[in-house]
Amino acid sequence: MLPDGHSLLRLQSVRVAYDGVEALKGISLHVNEGEIVALVGANGAGKSTTLNAISGILPLRAGEMEFLGQSLVGRRPDEIVALGITQVPEGRQVFSEMTVLDNLRMGAYLRLRRRDRAGVREDLERILAMFPLLDERRRQPAGTLSGGEQQMLAVGRALMARPRLLLLDEPTIGLAPQVAHQILETIARLREQGTTILLVEQNVLASLRVADRGYVLETGRVVLEGPSEELLRNRDVQRAYLGKDYEEV
């Protein structure tokens, strides 16, 4: 892990607005190499907005974003992917009428444009080996997969870009507990393989359990941050987010 001064990703006082209404009111956070960082908060707190700002989909109104010491501000989404940040969007968003294989290949779009065919083929086999369920359905249209399978496909597609930093937006939402558990295990496995992860979740308990550190967002602001164990012990977090989770999981 790099020392704090050399974070992989760093956001400083980031503000983002939709039609003049501020959704992010000055977010500062950082992600160190090799970490899993959880970004938790209620509906509408600004979690997806944060990820989309990082991915270059939403423009910043103010603030600074750096990845590997380079500013991300004003870069196009494809440039961000090329720099090594890939997002698995909320709601999976697979290309429903394309086959599983084509979805995965699209994930490597920029690499294929650079003609890295051998590397892409290798990764394709690696990812299919990682998700045997997808391998069985490789020629099936993605739209015919179950929710859990689609989520795996969305993660696989993002991995095809060989990201250094993976942004995951609510990967377990709407999934049966065992499937959600599987996805979280995959996330832990990815980290062991060297991918850094920024994980957005509503499932606060489960995500803080796999994460090293966490940030709690509330209406566009970071209200709490710290190591996961600390957050899990925090009374406010327990009261606001964990009351129900404790019974469920």
Partner 1 sequence: MDGSGLPQFIATGITQGAIYALVAVGFNLVYSATGIINFAQGEFVMLGGMFAVTCYSMLHLPLALAVVLPIAAVMLVGAGVHYFTIRPLRRAHLLTLIMVTVGVSVALRGLAKVVWGADAYPLPPFSAGESLSLAGANINPQSLWVMACAAATGAALTLFLRCTLQGRAMVACALNRRAAQLVGIRVERMHMWAFALAGGVGAIAGSVLAPIALPSYDVGLALALKGFCAAVLGGIGSNAGALLGGVLVGLLESLGAGYVSSGYKDAFAFFVLLLVLLLRPSGLLNVPTRREER
Ligand X SMILES: Nc1ncnc2c1ncn2[C@@H]1O[C@H](COP(=O)(O)OP(=O)(O)OP(=O)(O)O)[C@@H](O)[C@H]1O
List interacting residues with ligand X (CB under 6 A): 18, 23, 41, 43-49, 90, 202
Number of residues written out for the chain: 249
When CB distances are held under 5 to 8 angstroms depending on the partner's kind, the choice from partner 1, ligand X, Mg ion, none that residue 17 binds is none
Contact code string over 48-77 relative to Mg ion, x by CB under 5 A: x-----------------------------
When CB distances are held under 5 to 8 angstroms depending on the partner's kind, the choice from ligand X, Mg ion, partner 1, none that residue 107 binds is partner 1
- Region from 7-15, 95-103, 144-152, 221-229 binding partner 1, contact rule CB under 8 A: 95-103
Binding of partner 1 by 97 (CB under 8 A): yes
- The stretches of the chain forming alpha helices (DSSP H) are 47-54, 77-83, 100-107, 109-113, 117-130, 132-136, 147-159, 177-192, 204-210, 228-233, 235-237, 243-248
Binding of partner 1 by 213 (CB under 8 A): no
Taking the complex as a whole, the smallest distance from the CB of residue 191 to partner 1 amounts, in Å, to 21
Residues 229, 230, 231, 232, Cα dihedral to 10°: 50
When CB distances are held under 5 to 8 angstroms depending on the partner's kind, the choice from Mg ion, partner 1, ligand X, none that residue 202 binds is ligand X
Compute the distance between CA of residue 170 and CA of residue 207 in angstroms, rounded to an integer: 10
Site for partner 1 in 153-172 (CB under 8 A): 157-158, 161
When CB distances are held under 5 to 8 angstroms depending on the partner's kind, the choice from partner 1, ligand X, Mg ion, none that residue 102 binds is partner 1
* Terminal C-alpha separation, the chain: 30
